[in-house]
Chain A
Amino acid sequence: MSDDDTLRSVYELVQLMSSLNDTRRSILIALAHIYPRSVSGVQLSRLIGYSGKSRSLYRGVLAHLQENKMIMIDQLTPKLYAIRINNEHPLLMLLVDMCRKYGSKSKKIYEKSLEE
């Protein structure tokens, strides 16, 4: 990919991220950092510091993110879901790459909150 293409993608990524609201943005950032791990709904709400029931995340936020192909949700058992970022998304692919390259410190923080 040439520099011009990368810059354009970064620009589009910034625009996309800034168009999302707080909850959706923090979900994508957190999932991009811990990629390729996938998390359950409860773990995700802990990751983004969400105080409500994790079930309420599914209906509005996660369902819409999945519809727009930004995240993938696999149903493991009737009650357990594995949520991960969609690494084939043309812009989020770039976000994941950046997080892997420069985000090791943040990654540690995110992983610590998953350990407990």
Chain B
Amino acid sequence: MDSLLVRAKGLYVDRQRIALATVMIVFTVTFYVFYSPGIYTLVEGIPHQIQYGSVQGIEIVYSFNTIGFFLAFSIMVFAYAVWSWAFLPSPAVSYTLGVLKGIFGPSVKIKHGIGKRFSLTLDNGVDVNITCRIKGDGPEEWFMYRLESSKFESPDLEKIALRHGMSVSDGRLVTWVSNDELHSRTLLMGNAISMASM
């Protein structure tokens, strides 16, 4: 693995730990905030057959406080999910940009968008979209990339894709690539694109 990616991986793991620790603290604080001021229960007039202790328990669980607490907690989880979906550690970004510029030339336009996406426009007007996923499904594969070109009309597209180790979906060349294949297979994709757009 490239040293930039090793650093990116370390950063990612560290940040996850920090995020987990923060969530634990915030969880405790919200718990305190939501249950300390007084219970606003939802149920009125619980039948008297039930013991008084149980009634109190039900009142606490079945209350506006619980609804508020769950709302606050789900916002926390949602924020964490968005955060981990949106950002790629910066060493990994510079690695990806470096590799792409190495293949398509330093003048190629690369847009790095939110959601770990890169989109580049080649000289011949073809777009390539690259999405990165951290902790891919495979063994020891920390960064996986999904390469996807724009649509082609070429009748040989299927054959070109096969000969470059890719597949065709909806008229686009697509493939999954692990971080150590990013350079070589993006190069092949460049070849395939120039053949398909002829």
Contacts and interface: CB of A to CB of B under 8 A. Distances in A.
Interface string B132-161: 000011110100100000000000000100
B167 A16 contact: no
A107 B44 CA distance: 78
A20 B144 CA distance: 13
Interface residues of B, number: 22
A31 to B, nearest CB: 15
Interface stretch (B78-86, B103-111, B177-185): B177-185
Contact of B159 (A18, A20, A23, A90): A90
B163 interface: yes
B148 to A, nearest CB: 13
Interface stretch (A35-43, A53-61, A73-81, A97-105): A53-61
The CB with the most chain B CB atoms within 10 A, among A18, A21, A56, A91, is that of A21
A67 B176 contact: yes
A68 B166 contact: yes
A59 B137 contact: yes
A2 interface: no
Given A60-B137, A68-B166, A21 B176 contact: no
A69 B161 CA distance: 10
A24 B180 CA distance: 12
Nearest to A60: B138
A67 B181 contact: no
A19 B139 contact: no
B162 A90 contact: yes
Contacts of A63: 137
A64 B176 contact: yes
B138 A68 contact: no
A46 interface: no
A24 B187 CA distance: 18
B11 interface: no
Contacts of B176: 64, 67
Nearest to B176: A64
Contacts of A111: none
A16 B175 contact: no
A2 B163 CA distance: 18
Contacts of A56: 137-139
B116 interface: no
A30 interface: no
Contact of B163 (A16, A59, A60): A16
A58 to B, nearest CB: 9
Interface of A: 12, 15-16, 18-21, 23-24, 50, 52, 56-57, 59-61, 63-64, 67-70, 89-91
29 contacts: A15-B188, A16-B165, A18-B184, A19-B165, A19-B184, A19-B185, A19-B187, A19-B188, A21-B178, A23-B138, A52-B139, A56-B137, A56-B139, A57-B138, A59-B137, A59-B138, A60-B136, A60-B139, A60-B141, A60-B178, A61-B138, A64-B138, A68-B162, A68-B166, A68-B175, A69-B162, A90-B159, A90-B163, A91-B163
